[in-house]
Amino acid sequence: MTSTARNPWLLTAWAAGLVSVGAIALAAAWGGWQPVVLLLAAALVPILLLRGVVALGVSRWAATSVLALLLVLTAYLMSARSDTSLRGTVTDSVPLLLTAPQPYALRADLLAPVVLLTGLVALFAGLRAESRTRVGPVAAGVLLYVAAALLTTGRGDPWGILAVLLVVLAVLGWVLLDEHTEPSRRRLLVAGPALVVLVGGLASVALVPARGAFDPRTVVDPPVTVIETASPLPQLGAWAANPDDELLLVSGDAVPLRLVTLDEYDGAQWRAATRYAPFGTAVDTPLTGDRRRTATVEVQFAGLGGSWLPSPGDPIEVSEPDALVDVTTGTLHDPDPDPDTRYVVTGVADEPDPADLVGATVPTSGPALEYLDQPQLSGALAAYADRVTPDGGPYVRALAIEAAVREGRRLSPRAISGSAFWRIERFLLGTEPDDQVGTSEQFATAFAVLARRAGLPTRLVVGFRPGDRQPDGTRVIRGRDALAWPEVYFQGLGWVPFAPTPNDDTFTQGRPQLAEAPDVEPAPTTESAEPVPAAEPPPVARAADAGLGLPSWVLVASGTALVAVPLLVLAVARLVRSLRHRRRGATGAWAEVYDALILAGEPPPAWATAPQVAARADQWFGTSGATEVAARAERAAFGPAGTTVLDRPAAEVREVRRAARATVPRWRRWWWHLDPRVLRR
């Protein structure tokens, strides 16, 4: 009789293991190995110290109090390096953790509260390790695991390995660490299969896709900075007037750069985004399409100035540490601008398949409707808008508006700035010689006003064309590359740029060929910007399509079929064999008994005669029917012609078959009707 003594060190090791799993889960919020080591130390050191001190005879609660104080002291020392006080670190820890960009930086003010939490939880686990219920350490590990799930929005443990470890450790502790008279090996033998089932279930849960996982960041307001900055639209004229001024030096993917995205139009002017949050913390989800491209550029400011940072799309990574971002528009802002700023930025932009554009629709509900807001148009403008907008799909309408805006109007850097209604009305409908002249500001605004009138969600982007390629591979963006262009949001496709500005083919390449292309007659311009060198096809990485492009039920169904079809084939083969035996009468009955012997794992020797085999089977299974079946089969097979043919001994066959099947272990019986072993005979 063996019994596992309640060894306190063993219990401590168990509790330490559980807390360590939780600590590893927490460290996933940082990534890298240093936080893992640090948090493991924060979990293991207090628990082992507690055990050691208690083993020396010190009272448990005194030791815990002292160790808790030591932990607080450690956290204080950690936070002393950062600017905040310990109290500030502790009280602000949750908002700080929930608003800091992810993955977290290795910063003391971010690590200190987590180290403190881990240490205190480890102390609790160590304190409760020797209690009879043995739930305390499990609860401690689970607490850290849940905290990690909250910090990482449930993505810290993608394969469920840590959850499985927690369950396995907890069950092993419960099964093995209690005092029992039963040998541990026997208990493990019982616990093992149960654990395998549990782990399998948990692993299958890990495959469940988490949709709409709760993000605690939505509860905490990120530190949003409201920055009121003048719209850069008036500058377009200045840039166009000095076309050779170098604005930016760029290397990397040759894609248009966005400076500012303007989404609010109040009839007088466009407004830029005002809510900026530190990079990686914002919780808003921008309107995007399904197919997007990623581009990375390195930008060096030359003469641009200002506090906006150009980006090739919605930024996902930027090397400028204190950059702020407005997630809904993807505008980057640098709070303390430097005339020589140099940074690397990666951005994603919508790049829909041109083939999908023609049939594209615009959303009729949701946040995209905000891009239709504008004051009532004047009668003349409204009439013009209705005249140039044909019936047709949204994309066709957008193209028609683009052509109508471009047609017959002149691009001039000296045009009057402004995007108020009167300016647009004069730009579109004016009859004076200089009326239908504008910068790209007026072209883009006119398009936006008409498109919003036509029910297309539209916004304005101020940005730059890819620029001139230099011999060394970098590109120079000059004043003539500055441009404002409108973008229309299509359902599922994202923001699609249009080019209402004359002599601008930045966005017209790769457009689908319409059957009846609207008449586009570029207005002759004398002072327009020089033809932009044809932008080479952008060497950008396309975002990989999700998975193999197959819906998950197809995978599941094919997997099921892969298993089910062979089983079905086996079952049919066995059924046919049984039916054939039934038709053969007494000899078929004997064949069925013979099959039962093989299926029961007792194949009769080849030399044995039927009565011998039957006697052995009867003895083995405790039946009496096999002998009778054998006798009738012999009689039917070898009896002289004219022997009375007896009935098929169905009851005996059933008896022997049932007895044979009962000898097979219960968990293997379902295989009885599928077993292919008899088919070889």
Q: What angle do the packed helices 586-599 and 610-621 form, to 10 degrees?
A: 50
Check if the beta carbon of residue 588 is closer than 8 Å to that of residue 624: no
Residue at 122: amino acid letter: A
Contact 162, 24 (CB under 8 A): yes
Please choose, out of 189-197, 268-276, 285-293, 374-382, the segment that lies near other proteins by the rule CB under 8 A.
189-197
Interaction between residue 186 and other proteins (CB under 8 A)? yes
> Of the candidates 66, 74, 76, 187, which one interacts with other proteins according to CB under 8 A?
187
Q: Is 29 exposed, middle or buried (0-12, 13-18, 19+ CB in 10 A)?
A: buried
Nearer to other proteins, 163 or 360 (CB): 163
Can you tell me which of 66, 72, 139, 420 binds other proteins, judged by CB under 8 A? 139
Beta bridge partners of 277: 325
Stretch that binds other proteins, among 53-61, 201-209, 272-280, 594-602 (CB under 8 A): 201-209
- For position 15 contacting other proteins by CB under 8 A, the verdict is no
Residue 167 makes contact with other proteins by CB under 8 A: yes
Nearer to other proteins, 112 or 117 (CB): 117
Q: What is the 3-state secondary structure (H, E, C) of 371-417?
A: HHCCCCCCHHHHHHHHHHCCCCCHHHHHHHHHHHHHECCEECCCCCC
Region near other proteins per CB under 8 A, out of 115-123, 155-163, 268-276, 482-490: 155-163
Stretch that binds other proteins, among 71-79, 84-92, 156-164, 425-433 (CB under 8 A): 156-164
Residues in CB range of 552: below 8 A, 6 or more apart: none
Rule CB under 8 A: say whether 620 interacts with other proteins. Answer: no
Widest CA span in the chain = 124
Task: State the minimum distance, in angstroms, from the CB of residue 29 to other proteins.
Answer: 14
Q: Does 5 bind other proteins (CB under 8 A)?
A: no
Q: Which residue has the tokens 């092993």?
A: 172
Bond preceding residue 103 cis, omega within 30 of 0: yes
Does the protein bind other proteins through residue 166 (CB under 8 A)?
yes
Residue 220 C-beta: closest distance to other proteins, Å: 15
Does 132 interact with other proteins (rule: CB under 8 A)?
yes
Q: Which of 76, 174, 620, 672 binds other proteins (CB under 8 A)?
A: 174
Q: Is 205 in the site for other proteins (CB under 8 A)?
A: yes
Binding of residue 570 to other proteins (CB under 8 A): no
Instruction: Supply the minimum distance, in Å, between the C-beta of residue 177 and other proteins.
Output: 10
Smallest distance, other proteins to C-beta of residue 32, A: 22
Q: How far apart are CA 514 and CA 496, in angstroms?
A: 16
- Say whether residue 583 binds other proteins (CB under 8 A): no
Q: Does 641 bind other proteins (CB under 8 A)?
A: no
Burial class of residue 461 in the structure, from the number of CB atoms within 10 Å of its CB (0-12 exposed, 13-18 middle, 19+ buried) = buried
String of contacts with other proteins for each residue 84-123, x by CB under 8 A: ----------------------------------------
Side chain identity at residue 552, one-letter code: S
Are 501 and 480 in contact by the 8 Å Cβ rule? The answer is no
Q: Which stretch binds other proteins (CB under 8 A): 60-68, 119-127, 147-155, 561-569?
A: 147-155
Q: What is the DSSP string of 295-318?
A: EEEEEEESS--SSEE-BSSEEEEE
Q: Which of 270, 267, 235, 257 is nearest to 460 (CA)?
A: 270
Distance in Å from the first CA to the final CA of the chain: 50
Which residue from 37, 77, 135, 517 is in contact with other proteins, where contact means CB under 8 A?
A: 135
Nearer to other proteins, 182 or 353 (CB): 182
* CA nearest to 439, candidates 403, 412, 402, 409: 412
Ordered alpha helix ranges (H), 177-258: 184-206, 233-241
Report the SS3 class of residue 483: strand
Q: Does 617 bind other proteins (CB under 8 A)?
A: no
Nearest approach, Cβ of residue 78 and other proteins (Å): 28
Closest CB 212 distance from other proteins, rounded Å: 5
Interface residues toward other proteins, by CB under 8 A: 1, 132-135, 138-139, 142, 145-146, 149-150, 154, 157, 160, 163, 166-167, 170-171, 174-175, 178, 181-183, 186-187, 190-191, 194, 198, 201-202, 205-206, 208, 210-214
